[in-house]
A and B are shown apart, each in its own frame.
Chain A
Amino acid sequence: MDLYVWGGILAITLATVVARTVLLLLPGQLSWPPSIDAALRYAPACALAGIIAPDLLFVADSGEIAANPKLWGGLVGIFIFATTRSMIATIGGGMLVFTLSRLGLLPF
């Protein structure tokens, strides 16, 4: 069992290294159509949006979409960042609203 677990750790590590570096290690000029380059410019925003939306919308217990404290915290976070440009305020304010809502101290 022990050795198997360390084998699993090695497998996860290898998979991560491969995914992160295979395109960087391929030698020579890799060329792809300019449209791919243009689309890659949008990768950061699309990746973030694709991570955030399910995190906020799905309720962990039921696995269903519902209005929930995380969603309120996230929406308040978006508002705070749009008005203050401060990441710390976004994290702090969002967590505060989430916690108050979770404890039933807010009307939503």
Chain B
Amino acid sequence: MPESVQLAHPTPREAFNRGMRELLPAGPGVIAWGIVTGVAMVKSGLTVPEAIGLSLAAYAGSAQLAALPLIASVAPLWLVFVTALIVNLRFVVYSAAVRPYFQSLPARYRLSLGYIIGDIMFVKFTNLMQNEPRYHRPIAYYCGGAVCNWLIWQAASIAGIVLAKEIPPAWGLELAGTLALVALVVPLCRQYATLVGALISATVAVLAHGLPLRLGLLLGLLSGMAAAFWADRRRDAGMGS
């Protein structure tokens, strides 16, 4: 099949474009989330330049929103730092998962690739690595999607900051972001162990929702991973292999 040979050896540009193409369907979700985050930043008291600065520099929706009430109440800066760090702990798990693919690159590239990691591109990239482990240009693919995600997010976030007063919260725009994640998680759950992990993670995250700093999500993530691992082992053992 000459076609598959060609697909396995894309040029960097082709791989970059493919990453972009595969990110774009999530665009409406990213836009809606960006707008909601932008609006929320202004509502919690940041001026327009401050909100734009935070969005461009941090690029971390939930950490921005979690830390803003602390800034509004003039809490010590170390507490702001620790809060944002804890909210971002899932990225430590993400970077552990992508480390093998980035390991051989110079440090400045690893720094930039890590800086632009997000939920959607993390899922897309790990999907690609599992389905096409010999794909020739994984980094260019990753960059295409991640850069595209960054640009869409920033444009939407700045739009939200500028239009904050015109967008009623009742519209529930954040649901569009959640729906984009729904579309990402459904195909992953066809595997038995993954389904178990997702259900456990969802349950634990809901039960632990009262915990501060999105620790419920971290707890769900870790217990879901453990449950999926266990389900996988049990099934292997059950099949007598």
A54 neighbours in B (Cβ, 8 Å)? 205-206, 209, 216-217
Q: Is the CB of B95 within 8 A of A22?
A: yes
Is B238 part of the contact surface with A, judged by Cβ < 8 Å?
no
Q: How many residues of B contact A (CB 8 A)?
A: 93
Q: Is the CB of A16 within 8 A of B58?
A: yes
Interface residue from A21, A27, A42 paired with B225 (Cβ < 8 Å): A42
What's the minimum C-beta distance from B130 to chain A, rounded to whole angstroms?
7
Interface residue from A7, A24, A91 paired with B179 (Cβ < 8 Å): A91
Chain A 54-74 interface mask (CB, 8 Å, partner B; 1/0): 111110000001000110011
Interface residue from A6, A43, A53, A73 paired with B94 (Cβ < 8 Å): A43
Q: Is the CB of A13 within 8 A of B57?
A: yes
Known contacts A19-B85, A42-B224, A46-B201, A24 near B80 by CB under 8 Å: no
Is A105 part of the contact surface with B, judged by Cβ < 8 Å?
no
Q: Is the CB of B54 within 8 A of A12?
A: yes
Known contacts A9-B54, A45-B198, A47-B119, A23 near B172 by CB under 8 Å: no
Q: Is the CB of B229 within 8 A of A52?
A: no
What's the minimum C-beta distance from A42 to chain B, rounded to whole angstroms?
4
In whole angstroms, what is the CA distance A38 to B74 when docked?
A: 43
Is B188 part of the contact surface with A, judged by Cβ < 8 Å?
yes
A19 neighbours in B (Cβ, 8 Å)? 85, 88-89, 91-92
Chain B 190-232 interface mask (CB, 8 Å, partner A; 1/0): 0001100111111111100100000011001100111011001
Interface SS majority for chain A? helix
Known contacts A15-B85, A24-B102, A40 near B93 by CB under 8 Å: yes
Interface residue from A23, A78, A94 paired with B95 (Cβ < 8 Å): A23
Is A88 part of the contact surface with B, judged by Cβ < 8 Å?
yes
What's the minimum C-beta distance from A91 to chain B, rounded to whole angstroms?
5
Is A14 part of the contact surface with B, judged by Cβ < 8 Å?
yes
Interface residue from A10, A12, A23, A50 paired with B64 (Cβ < 8 Å): A12
CB pairs A–B below 8 angstroms (17 shown): A8-B80, A15-B82, A19-B89, A19-B92, A39-B229, A44-B122, A49-B197, A49-B220, A49-B224, A50-B201, A52-B185, A58-B206, A70-B175, A86-B183, A87-B184, A98-B172, A98-B175
3 tightest Cβ-Cβ pairs between the two chains A and B: A46-B224, A50-B220, A15-B84
Q: A25-B111, A49-B199, A49-B205 are in contact. List 12 more A-B contacts (CB 8 A).
A: A8-B70, A15-B80, A17-B114, A23-B96, A43-B93, A44-B97, A45-B189, A45-B224, A51-B205, A58-B206, A69-B172, A85-B187
